[in-house]
Amino acid sequence: MIEELGTKVRELLESETVECVIGYEVGPTGRVRPAFIHEPDEVGRLVFNTRCDHNLVTYLNRRNKPRKKGEEVPTTGILVKPCDARSLQVLLNENQVQRDKVYIIGVACPGMQNADGTLEARCARCSQRVPLLYDALFGTPPEVSDIADTYTDVEDMEALPREDRLAYWLGELDRCIRCYACRQACPGCFCDVCESERDDSLWIGISDAIPEKAFFHITRAFHLAGRCGECNACEMVCPMGIPLSLLNRKIVKEIEQTMGGYHAGVSEEPTPLITKLTGEEAINEIH
Amino acid sequence: MVTLTIDGQEIQAEEGQTVLEVARQAGIKIPALCHHPLLEPFGACRLCVVEVIRRGRSRLETSCTHPAWDGLEIKTNSPPVREARKTILGLLLSRCPNVPVIQDLAREYGVMEPPFPTDKPDEKCILCGLCVRTCHELVKADVLNFSQAGVERRVGPPFLEKTRQCIGCGACTIVCPTGAIEIVLEKDAVYQEKPLGPTSAIWVPSLTAVPRVPVIDTDACIRFRQNDRTNGEIADACGVCEMVCEAGAINFEQQDEVLELDVGAIIVATGFEMWDPHQLSQYSYGKSPNIITGLEFERLSNAGGVTGGEILTADGRKPERVAIIHCVGSRDHNAHPYCSRICCMYSLKQAHLVRDKTGAEVYEFYMDMRAFGKAYEEFYERVQKEGVTFVRGRGAEVEVLEPQNGQKYGQLRVKGEDANLGRMVQADVDMVVLSTAIEAPHDASQVASLFGLSRSEDGFFAEAHPKMRPVETNTDGVFLAGTAQGPRDVPDTVAHAGAAASMALALLDKGEVTISPTVSYVLTRYCTGCGKCVVVCPYKAISLGEDGKASVNAALCKGCGSCAAACPSDAITPLHFTDDQLVGQIMGVFYEQIVV
Amino acid sequence: MSKSSSNAIEGFEPKIVAFLCNWCSYAAADSAGVARIPSPPNVLPVRVMCSARVSAELILKAFMSGADGVIVLGCHIGDCHYDSGNHRTVKRIPLLRNLLIYMGVEPDRLRLRWVSAAESPQFAQVTTEFVKDVRPLGPLSAPLRMEGGAP
Amino acid sequence: MRFIDTQTLRDWLDALARQVTLIAPAPSNIGEAPGLVNPPAAGMYALYQPVGSADEIAWDFQRTAMSAREFLFPKTETLFTIETDASGKTTLHEPKVEQPQVIFGIRPCDARGMRVLDAIMLEQEPADAYYAQRRRNTTLVGLSCPEMWENCFCTSVGGAPNSSEDVDILLTQVEDGYAVQIVTEKGEKLAQGIQLQEVEGLALPEPKLNETFEMPTEQTWLDSFNDVYWDRVGERCLGCRACVYVCPTCRCFDVRDEKVVHPDGSGITRRVRSWDSCQGVNYRTVAGGANPRANPDQRSRNRFYCKFYYVPTDYDVPFGCVGCGRCIAVCPVNIDISEVLHDLAQRGKA
């Protein structure tokens, strides 16, 4: 599969269809990392395996915008797994990526694995093996049966007594160092100026205080409501190991269960938070 | 054109007309009972016989069936004609000795007594067939026909039994010259007695209506009913109104139309509805036809109404005692807590009318007399002087008594407290007028959401400000007039409507609109062009420009701020409700809590 | 679990931020005042043009700055002055509330209610009830409240 | 060589924790989070935290997730608060004086990081008063590393896993206890309360070392500023600040006045400083919105130049980097400082 993919990438670069292809390579210490292939001769660096869990779509946010006014936006080729394709669909819906400036190299996803060889939690609850969006597709999708996401992780948290939940989140938020890696890795976080980082301290200042960090994480989760494709990039990049997926997936669960089974990034329909009530959502309870 | 001579008078006539028609057009009287201008001639009653002289030969012919040929000479009142009619009337009078119209005609021709005896003195039908022809030709229900022969010949439905084919339209009763047909009302029948007598299916809603045009009640109209009943198979029943209307103004095809108009201002003047007094059972409304509402009283005393303006009880008598009860449904926590404002004055007027027209004793049960308008108090004093008895206190109960002395309806006992005397009082009266409340129309909520209006607690539409902006609403360009905004009387409504019209005109005349400064604006530095604001904007005021950033059309924006809450990067915010300002307010209220 | 948490303080009076929609609940609050219907003095009103203006950020900011409870009042669904503003409110506020509950905040600290312009007694009732429900919870604790107040 | 057995050390720490603020590596629940796929390298699960007794200390820790610099230079500190009353009269509130603190178990590289901070914040005029105050009150009890772990490269930047250069006391684990080297007067003072044994001929274990690599020359740095190589590094960079915040020598901060004004004219202003990072977009944005380091490659490049060119040139330290390897471990896209240095050295030779 990687040979065919390499041939295709070489072809794309040689024909100058794309200026650059974003894929995966192995770093000097054996870690898989994003690779930017500019020259046809670099194609050999490309790899694809069960450790390629970065969501490369994040890079399109800045590559797809002109650096200077009037500058032509380069066309980028990009490797996209099924979950990444959902992020990409969200970006397309929100005018962040020009479809004709991106060549989508879809890859059939074998399911990403942890260092110890077990399936990543997010992949264990996902049965999507082929991206919804691609220009060319590589790899043979493995047979998987349909898996329904039961949100057991979220429900476990919900089942805890309130005091325990509070203590848990206080501890997690306390560790946050406001490095904003989660935001930077997230394809959905593309604001030029993050409202948690405004220089006029409108909402929060620059301090290490828990409420300020809570504000950032709550609003980030909230801004991703109906837009989060569950790629888990935020959690994976967190240097302090804060379980951000628990926050995001709580909202994913709420949206799915109260707003007509909506899933982000599977269609051009925008997040239900900005659309009118359409009838299928029961507003029976305003608590 | 043909020319014929009638009674020595040379008359021009259309080809195809009958002699009767020509004669009647010329003002020559010929009696006839079985003739109706809208029905085919039938020649059954024979009363219209005339002497027809043609080519020197004279014959007696029925003028309703004889064509008006060129050169005919007609004599309508010659001795042979009179003799023939006398014979016919003698026979008719013998069959129906007690029908006034026949008695009158017979007397005119010198027949004073029926020449032959009859064993059915109550017979009214002269077998003229008008009803049969009406039911066949116009109503197209074909319910009535002749049956049997000779002396047994009679008119009726098949087997003289009740039939579902009869739609109860009553056309037969109207055409019958002798009053031989009567409609018997059954409970729950289609043909219901209306509270103040029936009206026809086509009628002028109010004699003072402008423009004064009739409307067709499609639920009652024979043509529509036959059409509906037969699913369009019989689509041309009746049409009498169309046939008789010389202006050709009747149009059955007319449908409710939806007109789409582009307008610059809208005045909502959807008015009020009368509150239904059935809801307070102590007033016994509906238990006696003599308990009526103020509006029904208006119909009763209207010169164009069923009684021609006479104030009569349901059995047609002049009332001797009338009670008027104020505040029925108003100022009542079981109904509407508000004052309907118009009842005091119309009740006074109605008391005055009753005194004036019938001289009956009038008892007014009132809580407070709210005679606040110009010359109102003076009118109140005048009515007092006219001898109306005012009882201060809410009318508590109306009881319908058993009919006495062969009366059709029993008297009404009104009970209440006289607060001035401090004791209970009661009066037995012939008629009770309930001054019912006015309320917001039942569909006011739909109108409200259509125009984005809010409603005040009483259900009427809320004005923008009770004192400063009484005709404006919170939706720009939409104004309120009259009782749509709240109970008010005619002078107030006229003033209110005038104000609304002026506001609308002022808006239109300016040619430009002043908009609230609360509009959103975009900080392009922060805008990523994600388009969420474009989706949420209820006014489509936001669009993405060529630079990929949002921009606001200030003329369309109403400043709701939905966009500001949807924007993740605070790039769009409504003026006067900016994030800074709202945060400032929030921080300000907690200033005291800051620990240094 | 009992509703009143350990941080309930004798004589504690919560501070409540109420976001009031200009056309409905603000008018109701106004006419409640005109009609001398008493409503709790703990409620600090912040007027917005539409309940849809109330972003999650504003609510969090209120909590950060010292609010012990936040109540958002808007027009009934279908009565929005802006046609569909409250359609977003009814999705946004419960979602935020559920997220806050998930993070350990007491459910009674954030509330959404519809109060039309005509419902001034309801305004008083809804706010009184809210104050009554927040009082036993005591002052808001971390993770939302800035110690010593903002800034 | 002086020696302390494990139990005596623990007793001493327990006693110490009652007198001063004792900071030591303590276990943290990092890594227990569900779904965490790329946890920091094993053994980094500890964080320097104030502890109440020796039992709380993570004795077998390797490298903590964060360096100990936050105890000299906190993530956030209020510099002062100004209260203005309605008449305009102002009162200045200064923060309270820091209590003495002992950082136990600091690794030689982290201690070396403090030496870099000292060079920048104390040895230049004006000295940073807040830092100086804390530095004065801090005693460092180091713990030498038994080996160099994954990503460690202290030896390439002039350090050593058992260097005693920058601590007040250095402990090295030996059988049944620790060898004690008292390095400074401060250390001597602190050690007065300990029961130390004098053991003749106590051999210190030799730490296992990683391969040392060659550093780029000063000339290479000068020549490479506009090299396309930085584009290649920068395009991968997500622009997060994890590398900077875990770094023991990064010392950039942002200062902001947070202010609330009361309607009566009174007001409260707090001047807050917090860590900042040259990897963030805001860092170099100036009034008017211009940003000389608007692009990711410029920001990435800055981090390397700062550590290996600007700091050595401007201050009296060999490098601005101590080779702890934390930035390599935390980088989500594997930007590897040792790889960059290696690449650059090769380019310099070519």
| Predicted pLDDT of residue A286 | 55
Residue contact B452–C81, C-beta within 8 A: yes
Residue contact B582–C46, C-beta within 8 A: yes
The span from the CA of D23 to the CA of D195, in Å, is: 21
Residue contact A206–D276, C-beta within 8 A: yes
| Predicted pLDDT of residue B199 | 66
- Rounded percentage of chain B residues whose pLDDT exceeds 70: 97
Query: How many inter-chain contacts (A to C, CB under 8 Å) are there?
Result: 120
Determine contact: A209 vs chain C, CB below 8 A. Answer: yes
Query: How many inter-chain contacts (B to D, CB under 8 Å) are there?
Result: 13
Helix orientation angle between A244-258 and C85-102, rounded to the nearest 10 degrees = 140
On chain C, the residues whose CB falls within 8 A of the CB of B561 are 48-50, 52-53
- Rounded percentage of chain B residues whose pLDDT exceeds 90: 58
Select from 3.40.50.300, 1.10.760.10, 3.20.20.70, 3.30.70.20 the CATH code of B520-589. 3.30.70.20
pLDDT band per the 50, 70, 90 thresholds, residue B555: confident
**Quick one: average pLDDT of C45-72?**
94
Q: Does the structure show a pLDDT above 60 at B196?
A: no
Q: Does the structure show a pLDDT above 80 at C10?
A: no
Q: Which residue of B543, B546, B562, B570 is the best one to mutate when testing the A interface, meaning the one whose CB has the most A CBs within 10 A?
A: B570
Q: Does the structure show a pLDDT above 60 at B126?
A: yes
| Helices assigned H by DSSP within D102-166 | 108-121, 129-136
DSSP per-residue string spanning B480-526: E-GGGTS---HHHHHHHHHHHHHHHHHHHHHSS----S--EEE-TTT
Determine contact: A215 vs chain C, CB below 8 A. Answer: yes
| Predicted pLDDT of residue D1 | 82
Residue contact B526–A192, C-beta within 8 A: yes
Q: Measure in Å the smallest separation between the Cα of A194 and chain B Cα atoms.
A: 6
| Predicted pLDDT of residue B408 | 84
DSSP type of residue B349: H
Determine contact: B583 vs chain D, CB below 8 A. Answer: no
Q: Provide the token pair at B292.
A: 């009526």
Mean pLDDT, chain B, rounded, equals 89
On chain C, the residues whose CB falls within 8 A of the CB of A250 are 98-99, 102
Question: Are D171 and D144 a contacting pair, CB within 8 Å?
Answer: yes
The span from the CA of B89 to the CA of B48, in Å, is: 11
pLDDT band per the 50, 70, 90 thresholds, residue B201: confident
**Quick one: average pLDDT of B461-470?**
86
What does each of the 287 residues of chain A score in pLDDT, given as a tens digit?
888 999 999 999 999 999 999 999 999 989 999 999 999 999 999 999 999 999 999 999 888 777 667 778 889 999 999 999 999 999 999 999 999 999 999 999 989 988 888 888 888 888 888 999 999 999 988 887 788 888 888 888 898 889 888 888 888 888 899 999 999 999 999 998 899 998 888 899 898 889 999 999 999 999 999 999 999 999 888 888 888 988 999 999 999 988 888 999 999 999 999 988 875 455 545 55
Residue contact D268–B594, C-beta within 8 A: yes
Which residues have C-beta within 8 Å of that of residue C129, sequence separation ≥ 6?
A: none
On chain D, the residues whose CB falls within 8 A of the CB of C151 are 258-260, 268, 270, 272
| Predicted pLDDT of residue B208 | 74
Residue contact D268–B588, C-beta within 8 A: no
Helix (H) or strand (E) holding A6: helix A2-14
Sign of the Cα torsion D307, D309, D315, D316 reads: positive
CATH of segment(s) B2-77: 3.10.20.740
| Predicted pLDDT of residue A60 | 92
- Burial (CB count within 10 angstroms: exposed 0-12, middle 13-18, buried 19+), residue A246: buried
Question: Are B283 and B396 a contacting pair, CB within 8 Å?
Answer: no
Q: Give the residue extent of every domain in chain B.
A: 2-77, 128-252, 273-439, 450-510, 520-589
Determine contact: B595 vs chain D, CB below 8 A. Answer: no
Residue contact D268–C151, C-beta within 8 A: yes
Please name which of D73, D74, D156 lies closest in space to residue D109, comparing C-alpha atoms.
D156
Which CATH architecture does the domain made up of B273-439 adopt? 3-Layer(bba) Sandwich (3.50)
Q: Give the residue extent of every domain in chain A.
A: 2-138, 152-274
On chain A, the residues whose CB falls within 8 A of the CB of B579 are 202-203
Residue contact D38–A121, C-beta within 8 A: no
Q: Which residue of C91, C98, C100, C114 is the best one to mutate when testing the A interface, meaning the one whose CB has the most A CBs within 10 A?
A: C91
At B11-44, the pLDDT tens digits run 999 888 999 999 999 999 999 999 998 898 988 8
Q: Does the structure show a pLDDT above 70 at B198?
A: no
pLDDT band per the 50, 70, 90 thresholds, residue C4: very low
Those of residues 254-283 in D touching chain B at CB distance below 8 A are 260, 262-263, 268
Residue contact A201–D31, C-beta within 8 A: no
The span from the CA of C89 to the CA of C59, in Å, is: 12
Q: Measure in Å the smallest separation between the Cα of B588 and chain D Cα atoms.
A: 6
Which residues have C-beta within 8 Å of that of residue D214, sequence separation ≥ 6?
A: D342, D345
| Predicted pLDDT of residue B107 | 93
Which CATH architecture does the domain made up of C16-137 adopt? 3-Layer(aba) Sandwich (3.40)
Q: Does the structure show a pLDDT above 80 at B576?
A: yes
Please name which of B472, B567, B560 lies closest in space to residue B267, comparing C-alpha atoms.
B472
**Straight-line distance from the first to the last Cα atom of chain A, in angstroms, rounded to the nearest whole number:** 53
On chain D, the residues whose CB falls within 8 A of the CB of A246 are 34-35
The span from the CA of B303 to the CA of B306, in Å, is: 8
Q: Measure in Å the smallest separation between the Cα of A136 and chain C Cα atoms.
A: 38
Q: Give the residue extent of every domain in chain C.
A: 16-137
Please report, for chain B, how many H helices and E strands are present, in that order.
Answer: 15, 25
| Predicted pLDDT of residue B171 | 86
Q: Which domain holds residue D127?
A: 2-349
**Quick one: average pLDDT of B81-101?**
93
Residue contact D263–B588, C-beta within 8 A: yes
Task: Determine how many CB atoms are found less than 10 A away from the CB of residue B375.
Answer: 9
CA of D259: which chain C residue's CA is closest? C151
The span from the CA of B48 to the CA of A4, in Å, is: 110
On chain D, the residues whose CB falls within 8 A of the CB of B593 are none
Which residues have C-beta within 8 Å of that of residue B61, sequence separation ≥ 6?
A: B19, B49, B50, B52
Helix (H) or strand (E) holding B3: strand B2-6
Residue contact A274–B528, C-beta within 8 A: no
Q: Which residues of B178-217 are buried (b: 16+ CB within 10 A; e: fewer)?
A: bebbeeeeeeeeeeeeeebeeeebbeeeeeeeeeeebebe
Q: Which of D93, D262, D289 sits opposite B591 (nearest CB)?
A: D262
At B433-461, the pLDDT tens digits run 999 999 999 999 889 878 878 888 889 99
Question: Are D28 and D39 a contacting pair, CB within 8 Å?
Answer: no
Give Rg (Cα) of chain C: 15
Which pTM value belongs to this model? 0.74
| Predicted pLDDT of residue C3 | 39
| Predicted pLDDT of residue D43 | 39
Residue contact A112–D295, C-beta within 8 A: no
Strand-pair partners of D139: D102
Q: Does the structure show a pLDDT above 90 at B91?
A: yes
Q: Provide the token pair at D170.
A: 């250095």
The span from the CA of D129 to the CA of B419, in Å, is: 88
Instruction: Report the alpha-carbon angle D257-D258-D259, nearest 5.
Output: 110
| Predicted pLDDT of residue C1 | 33
Q: Does the structure show a pLDDT above 80 at C31?
A: yes
At B278-321, the pLDDT tens digits run 999 999 998 998 999 999 999 888 887 778 788 998 888 899 99
The span from the CA of B19 to the CA of B35, in Å, is: 12
Instruction: Report the alpha-carbon angle C79-C84-C89, nearest 5.
Output: 95
At C112-128, the pLDDT tens digits run 999 988 889 999 999 99
The span from the CA of B304 to the CA of B208, in Å, is: 9
Domain count, chain D: 1
| Predicted pLDDT of residue A22 | 96
Amino acid at B191: Y
Determine contact: C2 vs chain A, CB below 8 A. Answer: no
CA of B591: which chain D residue's CA is closest? D262
Distances (CA, A) of A157 to A162, A189, A231: 10, 25, 20
What does each of the 350 residues of chain D score in pLDDT, given as a tens digit?
899 999 999 999 999 999 999 999 988 765 454 433 344 333 346 889 999 999 989 888 888 888 999 999 999 999 999 999 888 899 999 887 778 999 999 999 999 999 999 999 999 888 999 999 999 999 999 999 999 998 999 999 999 999 999 999 999 999 889 999 999 999 999 988 788 888 888 888 999 999 999 899 999 999 999 999 999 999 999 998 999 999 999 999 999 998 887 778 888 888 999 999 999 888 888 888 888 998 888 999 999 999 999 999 999 999 999 999 999 988 999 999 999 999 999 988 87
The span from the CA of A259 to the CA of A273, in Å, is: 9
Report how far Cα B505 is from the mean position of its chain's Cα atoms.
Answer: 32
